[in-house]
Structure 1
């Protein structure tokens, strides 16, 4: 079972400056906040990953999800499909086309990761 991710946006409103993605079909300006909410709403956490995160005390805040979305876009641009996203001492196996976190790992417990085609390192400046 795959459950939608629950998160809260904590940023100030900003406008997308240009490009067709910055307007709706009716010509209204789309805020950066709305664009990010739309992108992040598509993320899912598998039942297995949710269980592993709870078991290992791994939590993600909205800034982490934004960083993961940016990393996912960069990895996809290079042709990646299944990536290992490293954040500090934890990592997440992510299926990029469906934006699904498949599992969460602690580097101390698991030193080998399989069934991936790429690795992306993300910084977590607040941790």
Structure 2
């Protein structure tokens, strides 16, 4: 089961599944805010990944989600479907067609990753 996960961005709660701001405010069509909401809304976090992120103290910023979306598009253009996205000392197994984070881990704790067809190194722009 995939549960929606919410993050706060500039004071507006965004649901990963729905993408609609809960405060009722919407950016203008084509505005940076709307593009940001659409990018974040296209991603899902599995219940397992959410649990692992909480357990391991892994968090993602809006910039991280944007960087992951760019990396996902590039990987898909090369034919990838199930990829391991490396961001610093953490990694995420991602099913690209559904934009779902399957699991999250720290490299030093889990040096072997299976059931992937590609690896993508993602720069964290704000860290």
TM-score by length of 2: 0.78
Structure 2 unmatched runs, 5+ = 11-27
Change (3 A) 1:80 1:124: same
Q: Distance in 1 between matches of 2:74 and 2:9?
A: 22
Aligned CA-pair RMSD = 1.7
Q: Flag as ranges the 4+ runs of structure 1 deviating above 4 A.
A: none
Aligned to 2:81: 81
Aligned to 1:52: 52
The structure with the largest strand share of the pair is: 2
Q: Distance in 1 between matches of 2:90 and 2:29?
A: 38
Contact 2:83–2:119 (CA under 8 A) maintained in structure 1: yes
Aligned to 2:20: none
TM-score by length of 1: 0.78
Aligned to 2:66: 66
Q: How many residues align?
A: 110
